[in-house]
């Protein structure tokens, strides 16, 4: 909502008109751009999520400036501002200010998309298969955290002489795995409920837990508080209890949920009851210091054994199609590709460091595919590539580093390029590797997993 002082200055009616025009215009631009690019990706046999990311780039800070996150300090396009200011009868400066105040609403809607996507991922996960690949997922997750973190930090510190704390922070940013992007690609390619898919999803969940712990340590060090073992152990314990509780409830809570759902008669009972469970799990996860996204996946896992699972999936899928699109487009809008210009002398140091980080980021995650033992034949390259995209998680790390003033401009650009590179490359490479096998009848996401 717009600040009260601004309301007094320009009048509540004009402010409401501007807010409505901005909000509706944002959705219109996002959905049209995402749909056009998604259709193009389908026709060239690439994942639609790549189209959504590209759509965000085209309309964001690297393109038309139609949707720009306020934290980037980039102005909206002059003709867009002119159109909105004439319709709302306000100055372009006022429209820009209202846009900055209302943009968090769009980000909140995009978070609903992420939570719905992870909830659906949990629903489509086979618990027995997740448990069966538990040891493999753990090995993959630990390798995918340790390798990029150690190599990235050591390389920056010893080769590029980056100060220790910024080097550690950059190394920590490389540990992330975007479960949202990986789950979306695997789901689209009908590979989610294969052994490889479950291994990657399980590892990505553990990656989130380990990433939260590392982030807590790095932020503590950056804040000058020093290394404190107590809060870190508390966070690890909270994560372990939360995951254990989710696994326990996935075995025991479904009958109670089914009974409650059978008592409800008003229309929409399935999606409302499911989202109550989703909201509760997100709330609990955030309340104990974990990421709400982890709670969303746990909620889906808890309801995966319900007799209403298929009905829940069918009600959630349209919400994912709408709101997850906004989430992925917004990732693209914040990507500043001007840092790729080698003709700008200020970019060259960042490009050299970025090439190093991108190489380590790719190699460190791809190597995870060969880090576990399995009696069954598995596509290890798919596992490694599935762990590769940093996506929104990497951007969160970058944002925190920027806010804390830890990063120089070259290092900030290098981390951004690492995030962009892995986010864009992973869907393309997965599509190329799985192109011959994805989409077959035995890989239907609602079919049984072969044993």
Task: Using pLDDT thresholds of 50, 70 and 90, give the confidence band for residue 11.
Answer: low
* Main-chain dihedrals φ then ψ at residue 448, nearest 5 degrees: -70, 145
Helix (H, G, I), strand (E, B) or coil at 390: coil
Query: Higher confidence at residue 12 or residue 94?
Result: 94
Q: Are 67 and 29 in contact (CB under 8 A)?
A: yes
Region of poorest pLDDT, from 28-37, 266-275, 401-410:
401-410
Q: What is the mean pLDDT of residues 132-150?
A: 87
Quickly tell me which residue has 């990421």 as its tokens. 291
Helix H or strand E segment including 265: none
Q: Are 257 and 206 in contact (CB under 8 A)?
A: no
Structure token pair of residue 326 = 């906004």
If phi > 0 it is left, if psi is from -120 to 50 it is alpha, else beta; for residue 391 that is left
Of 279, 282, 209, 203, nearest to 243 (Cα)?
A: 209
Give the per-residue pLDDT at 274: 92
Q: Are 212 and 293 in contact (CB under 8 A)?
A: no
User: d(Cα 286, Cα 47) in Å, to the nearest integer?
Assistant: 31
If phi > 0 it is left, if psi is from -120 to 50 it is alpha, else beta; for residue 268 that is left
Q: What is the mean pLDDT of residues 407-431?
A: 84
- How many percent of the chain have pLDDT more than 90? 19
Of 247, 180, 170, nearest to 207 (Cα)?
A: 180
Quickly tell me which residue has 């075995």 as its tokens. 251
Q: pLDDT for 171-204, tens place per residue?
A: 988 888 877 788 888 888 788 878 888 888 888 8
Q: Is the pLDDT of residue 437 over 80?
A: no
Q: Is the pLDDT of residue 357 over 90?
A: yes
Give the per-residue pLDDT at 137: 85
Q: Is the pLDDT of residue 217 over 80?
A: no
Please give the DSSP secondary-structure letter assigned to residue 354. H
Rg (CA), the chain: 22
Top-level CATH class of 108-443? Answer: mainly alpha
Please give the DSSP secondary-structure letter assigned to residue 72. G
Structure token pair of residue 164 = 């220790």
Task: Using pLDDT thresholds of 50, 70 and 90, give the confidence band for residue 404.
Answer: low
Please give the DSSP secondary-structure letter assigned to residue 67. S
Give the per-residue pLDDT at 196: 85
Give, to the nearest 10 degrees, the angle between helix 195-222 and helix 164-173.
Answer: 160
Q: Model pTM?
A: 0.75
* DSSP strands (E only) in 89-186: none
Residues near 33 by Cβ (< 8 Å), separated by ≥ 6?
55, 56, 58, 59, 329
User: d(Cα 176, Cα 394) in Å, to the nearest integer?
Assistant: 6
Q: Is the pLDDT of residue 147 over 90?
A: yes
Burial 207-238 (b: 16+ CB within 10 A, else e): bbbbbbbbbbbbbebbeeeeeeeeeeeebeeb
- How high is the mean pLDDT of the chain? 82
Structure token pair of residue 451 = 């044993």
Give the per-residue pLDDT at 445: 35
Of 27, 3, 29, 28, nearest to 15 (Cα)?
A: 3
Give the per-residue pLDDT at 441: 38
Give the per-residue pLDDT at 399: 64
Start-end of CATH 1.20.1530.20 domains in the chain: 108-443
Please give the DSSP secondary-structure letter assigned to residue 378. -
Q: pLDDT for 33-55, tens place per residue?
A: 999 999 998 887 677 887 888 89
Please give the C-alpha separations between residue 189 and each of 193, 364, 445, in angstroms, as whole numbers.
11, 24, 9
């Amino acid at each position: 909502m717009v600040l009260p002082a601004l309301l007094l200055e320009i009048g509540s009616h004009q402010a409401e008109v501007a807010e409505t025009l901005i909000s509706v215009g944002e959705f219109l631009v996002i959905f049209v751009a995402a749909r056009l690019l998604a259709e193009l990706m389908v026709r060239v046999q690439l994942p639609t999520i790549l189209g959504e990311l590209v759509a965000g780039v085209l309309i964001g800070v690297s393109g038309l400036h139609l949707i720009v996150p306020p934290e980037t300090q980039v102005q909206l396009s002059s003709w867009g501002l002119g159109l909105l200011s004439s319709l709302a009868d306000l100055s372009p400066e006022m429209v820009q200010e209202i846009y900055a105040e209302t943009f968090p609403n769009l980000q909140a809607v995009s978070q609903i998309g992420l939570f719905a996507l992870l909830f659906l991922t949990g629903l489509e996960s086979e618990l027995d298969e997740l448990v069966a690949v538990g040891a493999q997922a753990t090995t993959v997750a630990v390798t995918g955290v340790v390798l990029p973190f150690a190599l990235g930090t050591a390389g920056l510190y010893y080769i590029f002489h980056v100060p220790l704390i910024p080097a550690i922070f950059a190394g920590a940013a490389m540990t992330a795995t975007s479960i949202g992007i990986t789950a979306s690609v695997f789901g689209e390619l009908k590979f989610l409920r294969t052994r490889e898919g479950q291994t990657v999803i399980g590892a990505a969940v553990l990656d989130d837990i380990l990433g939260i712990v590392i982030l807590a340590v790095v932020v503590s060090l950056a804040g000058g508080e020093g290394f404190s073992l107590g809060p870190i152990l508390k966070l690890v314990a909270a994560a372990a209890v939360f995951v254990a509780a989710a696994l326990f409830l996935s075995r025991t809570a479904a009958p109670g949920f089914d009974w409650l759902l059978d008592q409800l008669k008003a229309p929409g009972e399935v999606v409302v009851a499911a989202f109550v469970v989703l909201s509760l799990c997100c709330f609990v996860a955030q309340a104990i210091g974990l990421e709400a996204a982890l709670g969303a996946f746990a909620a889906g896992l808890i309801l995966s054994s319900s007799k209403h699972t298929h009905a829940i999936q069918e009600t959630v899928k349209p919400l994912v199609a709408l709101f997850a699109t906004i989430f992925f487009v917004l990732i693209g809008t914040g990507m500043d590709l001007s840092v790729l210009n080698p003709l700008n002398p200020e970019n060259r140091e960042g490009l050299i460091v970025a090439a190093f980080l991108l190489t380590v980021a790719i190699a460190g995650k791809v190597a995870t595919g060969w880090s576990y033992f399995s009696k069954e034949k598995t596509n290890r390259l798919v596992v490694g590539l599935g762990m590769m995209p940093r996506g929104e998680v990497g951007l969160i790390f970058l944002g925190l580093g920027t806010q804390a003033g830890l990063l120089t401009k070259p290092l900030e650009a290098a981390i951004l390029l690492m995030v962009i590179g892995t986010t864009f490359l992973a869907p393309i490479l997965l599509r190329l590797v799985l192109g011959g096998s994805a989409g077959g009848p035995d890989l239907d996401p609602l079919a049984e997993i072969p044993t």
